[in-house]
């Protein structure tokens, strides 16, 4: 809504200019010309703001899972994962969404849909064996004989699909090659690397969905994995992030000095674990302490446990503000005893907020938290987590 205000402002300004022009004959020409420019600019701006507004998000980082984790996953769950990779979410097929794999940009998936740019993938699992039997497949593509030297060619349906994904030019369906290439070069990118960069787990999930959605029993995940390993050399495989490891920064969000404390909390997801007085979305977190630092910061700082961490060279805050900032950017510097979760050396809090806050945002957030006390917590009706309830802190 506020985004559209600029167009309105420009248009109203142009009206003001026309009125001025009417009353100031000496500069009428100039004001009328500027006014006219603003009318047109305002019209284009307004039209653009009236159209559907879609933000193009950065694709999520590779799924967090151990290598081989999909091997034991139930088939329906794996197929769901595949649907999400292709269409953006479970149920995305019906809505013709576009997911990380970007497949629907070129391929069609429903009976009767015409794929001008790439084949319709319905019945692929059955058609794969027919393709393998074709003379063109057997003869091979001189321009790209195999995925990599010594990889060999596909002999099963699962291998055919894996080969098509990892080496699209190894065999190009007649009529779908790049113009002038006589179907020896595919316009399809290698989806296991580059812009799309699907991991082996995601590729296995995609292939499983291709079978599963047609009521067929997909090959076991291990078999599909072996097929991909046949065509993708070790060095070219996109790795899944190990479970528990923080995902690579996907770009936004980042806390900025211009943000309000509420916006920072929302962007950084603090409310998932903490209750924070004065923040409307932070009323239920029960994993971390209540953040009323006016009450707790000095207390923690003076505690023998904290001073022990200072002596050990793990922590170094001298003022409550330093303590709050340290707790955000280096949560393992000192873990409040009640929240140790079995390991006093390592906080369970996300460790990379140092890369997600600007200095100004950190300063602002620390100031805000240091202004929160028992009265504010009680006013918001916060109880705090069971490990350290508000009643214990505030008496």
Partner 1 sequence: MVTMLIMSLAMPFFLTPVMAQEATKAATEAAPKVEMAKDVYFKTEGPVSGNPVPELKAADYPSYNLPYPLSENRILIWSIAQQHLYFGSFVLAVPIFCMIIELVGLLTKDPVMAKKYDDLAHLLVKISLTAYSVTAILGGLLLFSFITLYPDFFKYISSLFRPVMHIYALLFLAESGTLYIYYYGWDRMAHGFAKWMHACLGVLLNVFGSVLMMLANSWASFMMSPAGVDEQGRFLGNIWNVLHNALWNPLNVHRIIGNMVFGGGIVAAYAAYKFLAAKNMEEKAYYDWMGYIAMFMAVGSLIPLPFAGYWLMREVYGFRQQMGITLMGGLLAWLFIIQAVLIGALFFSTNYYLFNGMERMRGAEKYQKYIKYILFLTTAAFIVWLTPHTLVMRPAELKAIGGQQHPIIGNFGVMSAKNGAVNTMIMTTIISFLLYQRSNKIITVKWEAWGNAALVAMFAVALVNNWWLAIYGYFIPANVRVGLSVPQVMGTLTTLFVGSAINIAMMKGSKLTGPIEWGKISVRSQYALFALAVSFTWLMALMGYIRSSVRLFWHVMEVFRDTSPWAFTHTIGFAANVMSMNVMAFWLFVLFVFWLGELTSKHAVAEARKEAARPVMAGGSE
Closest Cα to residue 267, out of 254, 278, 276? Answer: 254
Regarding 260 and contact with partner 1 (CB under 8 A), the answer is: no
Tokens standing for 352?
A: 């990379």
Query: How far is residue 130 from each of residues 127, 134, 136, measured CA to CA in Å?
Result: 5, 7, 11
Residue from 71, 178, 214, 262 touching partner 1 (CB under 8 A): that is 178
Buried b (16+ CB within 10 A) or exposed e, 231-258: bbeeeebbebbeeeeeeeeeeeeebeee
**DSSP string covering 93-112:** HHHT---TT-GGGT-B-STT
The residue among 180 and 304 lying less far from partner 1, judged by its C-beta, is 180
Q: How many chain residues are in contact with partner 1, going by CB under 8 A?
A: 64
Residue from 145, 252, 269, 389 touching partner 1 (CB under 8 A): that is 252
Q: Interaction with partner 1 in 366-385: which residues (CB under 8 A)?
A: none
Residue from 74, 111, 116, 133 touching partner 1 (CB under 8 A): that is 116
Could you give the string, one character per residue 44-63, with x where binding to partner 1 holds by CB under 8 A and - elsewhere? xx-xxx-xxxxxxxxx----
Phi, psi at residue 112, to the nearest 5°? 90, -20
DSSP designation for 337:
G
Regarding 354 and contact with partner 1 (CB under 8 A), the answer is: yes
Residue from 20, 69, 184, 187 touching partner 1 (CB under 8 A): that is 187
The minimum distance between CB 95 and partner 1, in angstroms, equals 5
CB-count burial class (<10 Å; 0-12, 13-18, 19+) for 41: middle
What distance in Å separates the CA atoms of residue 217 and residue 159, rounded to the nearest whole number? 16
The residue among 131 and 185 lying less far from partner 1, judged by its C-beta, is 185
CB 220 within 8 A of CB 68: no
Regarding 29 and contact with partner 1 (CB under 8 A), the answer is: yes
The minimum distance between CB 247 and partner 1, in angstroms, equals 12
Positions touching partner 1 (CB under 8 A) are: 3-4, 6-7, 10, 29-30, 32-34, 36-38, 40-42, 44-45, 47-49, 51-59, 95-96, 98, 102, 105-106, 116-117, 175, 178-179, 187-189, 193-195, 248-254, 256-259, 354-356, 358-360
């Amino acid at each position: 809504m506020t985004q559209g205000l600029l167009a309105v402002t420009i248009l109203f300004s142009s009206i003001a200019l026309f009125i001025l022009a009417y009353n100031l004959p000496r500069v009428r020409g100039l004001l009328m010309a500027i006014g006219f420019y603003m009318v047109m600019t305002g019209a284009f701006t307004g039209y653009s703001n009236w159209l559907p507004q879609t933000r193009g998000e950065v694709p999520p980082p590779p799924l967090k899972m151990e290598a081989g984790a999909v091997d034991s996953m139930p088939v329906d769950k794996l197929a769901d994962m595949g649907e999400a990779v292709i269409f953006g979410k479970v149920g995305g097929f019906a809505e013709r969404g576009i997911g990380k794999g970007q497949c629907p940009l070129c391929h069609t998936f429903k009976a009767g849909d015409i794929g001008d740019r790439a084949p319709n993938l319905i019945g692929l699992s059955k058609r794969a064996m027919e393709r393998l039997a074709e003379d063109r497949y057997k003869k091979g593509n001189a321009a790209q004989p195999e995925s990599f030297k010594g990889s060999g060619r596909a002999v099963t349906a699962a291998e055919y699909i894996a080969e098509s994904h990892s080496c699209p030019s190894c065999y190009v369906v007649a009529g779908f090659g790049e113009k002038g290439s006589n179907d020896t070069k595919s316009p399809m990118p290698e989806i296991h690397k580059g812009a799309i960069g699907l991991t082996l787990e995601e590729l296995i999930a995609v292939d499983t969905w291709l079978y599963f959605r047609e009521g067929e029993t997909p090959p076991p995940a291990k078999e599909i994995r072996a097929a991909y390993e046949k065509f993708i050399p070790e060095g070219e495989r996109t790795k899944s992030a190990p479970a528990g490891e923080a995902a690579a920064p996907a770009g936004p969000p980042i806390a900025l000095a211009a943000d309000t404390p509420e916006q920072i909390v929302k962007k950084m997801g603090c409310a998932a674990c903490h209750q924070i007085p004065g923040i409307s979305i932070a009323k239920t977190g029960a994993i971390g302490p209540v953040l009323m630092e006016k009450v707790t910061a000095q207390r923690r700082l003076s505690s023998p446990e904290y001073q022990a961490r200072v002596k050990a060279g793990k922590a170094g805050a001298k003022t409550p503000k330093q303590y709050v900032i340290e707790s955000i950017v280096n949560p393992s510097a000192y873990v409040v005893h009640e929240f140790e979760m079995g390991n006093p050396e390592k906080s369970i809090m996300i460790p990379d907020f140092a890369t997600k806050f600007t200095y100004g945002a950190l300063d602002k957030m620390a100031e805000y938290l240091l202004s929160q006390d028992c009265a504010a917590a009680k006013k918001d009706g916060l109880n705090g987590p069971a490990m350290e309830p508000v009643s214990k802190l505030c008496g």
